[in-house]
Amino acid sequence: MIRVELDGQQIDVSPGTTVYEAAEQLGMRIPTLCHHADLSPVGSCRMCLVEIEGWDRPQTSCNLPCTDGMKITTSSNSLQNARQSMLRLLLEHYHDAASDNSHRPQTEFERLVEEYDAQNKADPSCMQDQQRYPIDADDNPFIRIDLNQCILCTKCVRACSEIQGRFVWSVAERGDQTRIVCGTDQTMLQAGCESCGACAAYCPTGALADRMAFRAGKPDRLVRTTCSYCGVGCQFDLNVKDERIIQVTSAADAPVNGMAMCVKGRYGYDFVHHSERLTRPQVRQYLLQETDWRQRPADRGPWVEVDWEVALDVTSRKLAEIWQESGGQAMGVLSSAKCTNEENYLMQKFARQILRTNNVDHCARLCHSSTVAGLAMAMGSGAMSNSMQDIAENAAAILITGSNTTEQHPVFGAMLRQAALRGCPIVVADPRRIDIAEFAVMHLRQKPGTDVALINGLMHLALENGWHDADFIRQRCEGFDELQAVVQNYSPNRVAEITGISEADLLAAAELLCTAKPMAVIWAMGITQHTTGVSNVLSLANLQMLLGNMGVPGGGVNPLRGQNNVQGACDMGALPNVFPGYQRVDDTGISDKFASAWDLQAAEHVDDSNRALDQQPGLTVTELVNGGQEGRIRSLYILGEDPAMTEPDSNHAKACLAATEFIVLQEIFPSETSEFADVLLPGATFAEKEGNFTNTERRVQPIQLAVPAPGEALPDWLITSRLANQVLERTGRTPLGEFAAWRYAKAADVLREINSLTPSYQGITPERIAAGESLQWPVTDANHPGTPILHVGKFTRGLGKFHAVDYLPAVELPNDEFPLLLTTGRVLYHWHGGEMTRRAAGLTAVCPEPLVEISPDDAAKHAIANGDWITLESRRGTLHARACVTNRVAAGVVFGNFHFPQKGNVNNLTIGALDPVAKIPEYKVCAVRFAGSS
């Protein structure tokens, strides 16, 4: 340690600590404009000058390392004068076209000018009295540019390169003409900007500012919350004025993301106040008439707005009627990865306690059910084993496969870019040349659906060259001999034939990945959404156990969850085969525990004498939707899901929903599924309620009430509770068990019930969350610190189990009739079915319509120009979208996104073939053809 003295106070610091950092540790404030702890120090603003005893002139503290015995003065008259002079010089080159700055919060620069009285000391004859640069001339819908306010601190340049890794901003010209430019003096979007807003977040003057917040006024309050988009789990502050969100600002102490955010998190918040929000309950007119409800009009008839009393009365009557006539097995509950842990817990409780069925599922079935199944089989836990920051900082090499990380999980993607820039080699295995491939040392472009062959080929070479970890295998795993027998059949020659990857590239990738310790594997839906999804996941688990990369920093198996609370919805038991905490429904002891906690006393006339819970696993999402047409499902209670949009073969899904007798939809917008609903219940967004999300790395984080919900919309946990109480009353049952009642005053009451019944969440209490603890499950008691890395020393199941899996081709491959292979995914500016992002003005401005990526060879072959409207056709339907001619896809492959409804929905084309274990559809491979262009 090094001992230094600042303003008479002594402190011991580590070697390499700067004077500025030492002052921060003592709680001393040294002013600065160009410095931020996240960015490399440059010392250009000269505001952080300090005096060092024995030195002849002041020094910039942000880039001056401490030396032993150094005596430092941070505040003196001479330093005051020097800082004031620097601000006066900056003011001479600074011009704010907005003379009235009351419309926005004070900038860092303005605060320092005021503090040092620099405005009054500046020479008026030198002041910049006219603008040198055009204001707001860039077409980026999110960021306003006024270079007249720029002081050349270069924070924007460093933020874009050192945080986001896009290198959009740079410094051009020299001397008096020096200025900040995008790319080669282009617009931001032309220069490759991803509109993350980091440049504006770090800017100290307002030269770069959030366009959506400009002139919106100063916020009344800031409310810390967690993002409602992807599974990264970014936290930020909602800026609220007059009960509306006017801006989202970074929170430097956010545990996952710090100051970093993506375009959706920072600028995609205006959906909250969109005019299409559901504000009152609605029911179909036929439900209000004194007729047999079974005489429902074919189109379900017109909507009628009603109050909550009528809506819940109608809904509970119909659900009770179906339950009494057909039992819970004729009913289904679809929960939501968009909603909180507490709300997902209550939805599965509604299914199991109120309806006596395990027919409860949610959209994890369509994205990561194969991950949950595969990792549970191999290791005993279906979750991400390591943390994102751990991977970015500690991995010696990274394999990214089936994850378009920079678009699907942008903040983590930016972390991986920085890891690559620091020298960590990344291998990308993906049929498309996705953006992260630009930072990879190798891009393996396998044919879609050939992942098992590729991974088996890597393991073949690892064993052949002795790159496997024999000690780890012997001590911590079982089933190795069976695995070895299978992978020996995957020679480089055979793998090259199956995948299209050259033998040389396969060998180079294997050597890099298998000899770097630790190596992390990252995947998403490019691995899981196949009829061989579980086999794909088992193969990746095999690889990491073979190499001994489990239970260590920088390694692990790391599936990236697509939605904000997919992990939490699974944790809460919104699955047909497990209670909360992955406690199996077919385990009698577990089932008895929940039966006792949720025990109901039935009236004498009610046929509910068997108070045990159903121990038969229920139906999955796809089975529940299909069940309407098959006649085995009469009702669906759907929370925040849009199966008409997101199910494969959407024409078939819509026909099934149309055939379902009674559908209750609890939503924030009239989604595509609302066409098939009988009751619409208006819920609250993440900004209008309280609760918790669990991110992809198992981190539980809160959301907080920031603005009131519009009209009569209510938090979803409250709606479900009220409905449960009415169904209980109508079916003649009363609560007996400790947690049988539905008397919740707030979301924290639900979390306490979760704590009591879910061992992995036992220590994640409302009190610890309110105290700011950021905990990763399992947290087994109130003093447990959380578990950043799983499987340390021992797998959850005991020994890790190798599974010998063989390559199987996709169900539907191209032929002469349908010669193209379609694969699907998301784009940066939209999310999931687009229900929220299509109602965010800026996001829609940048990406207003569906796109299909087509290779130049296929475009030339079919006379398609970039930007043409084209029609793709499969055996199930058609897609109308705009062509994007690009080398991102190989010849014979096309890529479509699923963010746009009706004719623009790529799920009109996808196939409903399922993985036999996880029941996940094969979204990533089907055969299509061009049917026209214009």
pLDDT exceeds 80 at position 125: no
- The domain locations on the chain are 2-75, 120-273, 316-363+565-761, 369-559, 820-933
Dist CA 879 CA 697 (whole Å): 35
pLDDT exceeds 80 at position 120: no
Whether the CB-CB separation of 507 and 385 falls below 8 Å is answered with no
Percent of the chain with pLDDT strictly greater than 70: 97
Q: How many helices (H) and strands (E) does the chain have?
A: 30, 39
The pLDDT score that the predictor gives to residue 100 is 57
78-97 mean pLDDT: 88
The pLDDT score that the predictor gives to residue 104 is 77
C-alpha gyration radius of the chain: 29
Look up the CATH architecture of domain 820-933: Beta Barrel (2.40)
As a CATH number, domain 2-75 is: 3.10.20.740
The pLDDT score that the predictor gives to residue 129 is 59
> What kind of fold does domain 369-559 have according to CATH?
Dimethylsulfoxide Reductase; domain 2 (3.40.228)
In 539-619, beta strands by DSSP E = 557-559, 578-579, 583-584, 600-602
**Residues contacting 389, CB < 8 A, separation 6+:** 256, 415
pLDDT exceeds 70 at position 598: yes
Q: Which of 121-125, 160-164, 393-397 has the weakest average pLDDT?
A: 121-125
Instruction: Give the count of beta carbons closer than 10 Å to the beta carbon of residue 419.
Output: 23
pLDDT exceeds 80 at position 797: yes
Dist CA 229 CA 71 (whole Å): 49
Of the candidates 899, 819, 909, the residue with the CA atom closest to the CA atom of residue 851: 899
Look up the CATH architecture of domain 120-273: 2-Layer Sandwich (3.30)
> What kind of fold does domain 316-363+565-761 have according to CATH?
Rossmann fold (3.40.50)
Q: Indicate the burial class of 534 (C-beta count within 10 angstroms; 0-12, 13-18, 19 or more).
A: buried
Give the model's confidence band at 101: pLDDT under 50 very low, under 70 low, under 90 confident, else very high.
low
**Residues contacting 451, CB < 8 A, separation 6+:** 401, 402, 429, 527, 530, 532, 536, 539
Q: Which of 87-91, 478-482, 645-649, 855-859 has the weakest average pLDDT?
A: 87-91
Give the model's confidence band at 446: pLDDT under 50 very low, under 70 low, under 90 confident, else very high.
very high
Give the model's confidence band at 94: pLDDT under 50 very low, under 70 low, under 90 confident, else very high.
confident
pLDDT digits (tens, 9 = 90+) for 813-845: 999 999 999 999 999 999 989 999 999 999 999
- Nearest 10 degrees: Cα torsion 525, 529, 534, 540: -30
Q: What is the mean pLDDT of the chain?
A: 95
614-641 mean pLDDT: 97
pLDDT digits (tens, 9 = 90+) for 398-421: 999 999 999 999 999 999 999 999
The pLDDT score that the predictor gives to residue 484 is 98
pLDDT exceeds 60 at position 378: yes
Give the model's confidence band at 611: pLDDT under 50 very low, under 70 low, under 90 confident, else very high.
low
259-272 mean pLDDT: 98
pLDDT exceeds 90 at position 96: no
In 285-412, beta strands by DSSP E = 303-305, 331-334, 360-361, 397-401
pLDDT exceeds 70 at position 102: no
Give the model's confidence band at 137: pLDDT under 50 very low, under 70 low, under 90 confident, else very high.
confident
The pLDDT score that the predictor gives to residue 131 is 74
Whether the CB-CB separation of 271 and 604 falls below 8 Å is answered with no
pLDDT digits (tens, 9 = 90+) for 560-580: 999 999 999 999 999 999 999
Give the model's confidence band at 294: pLDDT under 50 very low, under 70 low, under 90 confident, else very high.
low
pTM: 0.96
The pLDDT score that the predictor gives to residue 93 is 78
pLDDT digits (tens, 9 = 90+) for 691-738: 999 999 999 999 999 999 999 999 999 999 999 999 999 999 999 999
The pLDDT score that the predictor gives to residue 112 is 95
pLDDT exceeds 80 at position 166: yes
pLDDT exceeds 60 at position 644: yes
The pLDDT score that the predictor gives to residue 176 is 84
The pLDDT score that the predictor gives to residue 84 is 95
pLDDT exceeds 90 at position 427: yes
